Structure 1
Amino acid sequence: MKTSYNKYVTAMVILLIVSNVFTLSLLLKQKDRSANENHGTCSPQECYLTRSLQLEGKKQDSLVAITSAYRQEAAPFADELRRQQSAMLLKMADGAAGSSEIDSMQQNILSLQAQLLKLSIKQYQDIRAILDKNERVRLSKAYFLVFGCDTALCRLNHLSPDMDN
């Protein structure tokens, strides 16, 4: 009995030491990353695209301008979408709302999601316009990783013909 207890305590001490070493290494890596002068100068999306596309200089500045404009344009839709989704979930939880009211709220939510998707594809097209051929290939690959579909296929499935430029 005493030996099994000692083995248990020994195992727990070893696990505690390993977890402390792991935590310490994460903290040290975090400190190194925050000391990097480029850390925090762009949003995660801008940094991801800049790294993926290997952009520098004027093209990087254009990318930042496009993503900033997109964020400003998309913010009201995203805020309203969050508000609509919360309101619908509360009504569904209360059980007081009728199915027609829920259907109406779902249609509003779908409309907002469609608007955000159109803005995302518009942003893709704006970014694509500033790139050369090799960078466009890397952009398509980056968007494929994010959205999970080819951008041409996304345009066919999600945009009306008048939106496709």
Structure 2
Amino acid sequence: MVAIKEAEIPSQSTEPAPKIAFISGHIDITPDQFHQHYSSPLETSVAANHNFILSTAKGTDTLALEHLLSHDVAPSRITVYIARPTNPRKGGPVDVEKYTARGLRVEVVDGWHTERDAEMTRVSDYDVLWVRPEEETRVLYGEKYRAGRISGTRKNEERRERLLGRGREAGR
């Protein structure tokens, strides 16, 4: 019988895969609002060595990407999700190179932002988001305000709540 020394056995990592944070938010967020609502949760996630997914929307997504990169998060820990509309004449080109050139990972989802966001909820562990209160929204949009409109960010929050069994369809 041959004895195998412990050092000769290939090591198998018992480390769990890093959690994945889905960052989403409003396109019309100010830098001050971003700092107030996102900086601390993002720093907690960075310190925990989590990975991040976000989309290509202006506002929160753009600010979050720059925040992560400026806080030394390796680009390989960030995945950008891009929606590819099923009718390309109604959507812009898929600009994968813009992100891969920066070392970021890219996932392209066939469909619109709703399908993209649903996929991002599915593959992530938790959300980093802020839903603007109704009264602030009313003031921000003035005459253009639409009562009853649900923001994409709120839809993301509701989707996670349903997934966790805490949403309206779960008797809330």
TM-score in same-fold range (> 0.5): no
Greater helix share, structure number: 1
Which of these two proteins has the greater Rg computed from alpha carbons? 1
TM-score normalized by the length of structure 1 = 0.26
